[in-house]
Amino acid sequence: MTTPRAAVIHDLSGFGRCSLTEVIPILSVMGIQCCPMPTAFLSTHTGGFTGFTFLDMTEELTKAAAHWKSLGLRFQAIYSGFLGSERQISIVADFIQDFRGPDTLVVVDPVMGDDGKAYQTYTPAMCAGMARLAELADVITPNLTEAAFLLGRNYQDLLDGGRALHDESALRQLAEELSLGKTRSVALTGAALAPGRTGAMCFDARTGRAEAVQTEFVAHPLHGTGDIFASVLTGALMRGSTLKEAAAMAVDFIHACAVRTVDQNLSLQEGVDFEPLLGRLLPSRRKPEGS
Ligand code: PXL
């Protein structure tokens, strides 16, 4: 079998474990060839650091995409995340339209913010653009903040002042609302059915059903878990898992990484200590016949 290939459109942050420093190792260990399109180069991620450098790669993206087009490249998946400028919204939309084949899986992680607030480099216009970009996706992976932005709703209203935060039917309804009339799948992250736990509420456009995936979870706000979730989910979907199976794999992996990170007392900014656990994501190896 040829190695499946994914175009991964995310930033490269030098320190702090997020986006490409998580996407590439995770998809690679899952047996997928990653072709990165870096949207920006930052010295660190923007969550909790000040004074970070930011190199906008907008111009480079168009040139690199034109070169890939001249090579006739095709991808089994196109997976986008943190974008570096408002103009990149239409560039990534064009990329999806140009490179998508009938069987290409398009995952848009509509990275925009957390805890009810947009990330430092995200403008309201970028957030509005992200909602348009997400319309092209087969699967989206918003957290609750991004869900509010996508639906153009106030974060506190969306959570009904906190009452909807752990309410299964409210989360189920929210995932369905995000599915654009049941035409795209949704894995809503940070959707916990009880305090101190977390997980994802999945709406699967293939089955038309919403299902919760939950695990015991260390209730610490860890940075970069959204990118780990969407990367494992994308890899598992590319390997043929259902949305629920893929979300369960992602949630379990994050749980194991979070336990390790908290045990070591690492600073939140350093992100999740996932590297030593990557082996858990290897495709399961069958024994050769007769051995
Ligand atoms: O994990 C999302 C993310 C990705 N990239 C950058 C970020 C963040 C969240 O803060 O700052 C640069």
Q: Which residues contact 30 (CB under 8 A, 6 or more apart)?
A: 232, 235, 236, 238, 239, 281, 282, 283
Query: pLDDT for 25-47, tens place per residue?
Result: 999 999 999 999 999 999 999 98
**Which atom belonging to ligand 1 lies closest to the Cα atom of 111?**
2
CA of 46 relative to ligand 1 center, distance in Å = 6
Between CA 271 and CA 223 the distance in angstroms is: 5
**191 alpha carbon to ligand 1 midpoint, in Å?**
20
Which residue's CA is minimally distant from atom 8 of ligand 1? 45
pLDDT tier at 269, thresholds 50, 70, 90: confident
DSSP code per residue over 21-76: HHHHHHHHHTT-EEEEEEEEEEEE-SSS-SS--EEE-HHHHHHHHHHHHHTT---S
Contact 56, 40 (CB under 8 A): yes
CA–centroid distance, 138 to ligand 1, in Å, is: 22
Residue nearest to atom 1 of ligand 1 (CA): 224
- Ligand 1 atom nearest the C-alpha of 81 is 4
Say how many Å lie between the CA of residue 185 and the centre of ligand 1. 23
For the stretch 118-151, pLDDT in tens is 999 999 999 999 999 999 999 999 999 999 999 9
Q: How far is the CA of 19 from the centre of ligand 1 (A)?
A: 7
CA of 153 to the centre of ligand 1 (A): 22
User: Rounded to whole angstroms, what are the CA distances from 6 to 58, 63, 73, 131, 268?
Assistant: 20, 19, 11, 22, 29
Question: What residue owns the CA closest to ligand 1's atom 6?
Answer: 45
The predicted structure's pLDDT at residue 168? 92
For the chain, how big is the Rg over CA atoms in Å?
Answer: 18
Query: What confidence category does residue 291 fall into, taking pLDDT thresholds of 50, 70 and 90?
Result: very low
Whole-angstrom distance, CA of residue 116 vs CA of residue 222: 16
Q: Which residues line ligand 1 (CB under 6 A)?
A: 11, 13, 18-19, 42, 45-47, 82, 111, 119, 224, 226-227
Both structure tokens of 45: 């991620």
pTM: 0.96
Using the mean position of ligand 1's atoms as its centre, give its distance from the Cα of residue 45 in Å.
Answer: 5
- What confidence score (pLDDT) does residue 101 get? 95
The angle at the Cα of 126, spanning 44 to 110, to the nearest 5 degrees, equals 70
18 Cα nearest atom in ligand 1:
1
Residue of 13, 52, 80 with the most ligand 1 atoms within 8 Å of its CB, for mutation: 13
Question: Six-digit token pair at 165?
Answer: 């935060």
Q: Which of 111, 130, 227 to mutate to test the pocket of ligand 1 (most atoms within 8 A of CB)?
A: 111
Residue 31 is predicted with a pLDDT of: 97
Query: 248 pLDDT band (50/70/90 cuts)?
Result: very high
Phi, psi of 129 (to 5 degrees): -65, -35
Return the best residue to mutate from 39, 119, 228, 270 for the ligand 1 pocket (most ligand atoms within 8 A of CB). 119
Please determine, for residue 220, whether its predicted confidence score (pLDDT) is greater than 80: no
Average pLDDT for residues 243-251, to the nearest whole number? 96
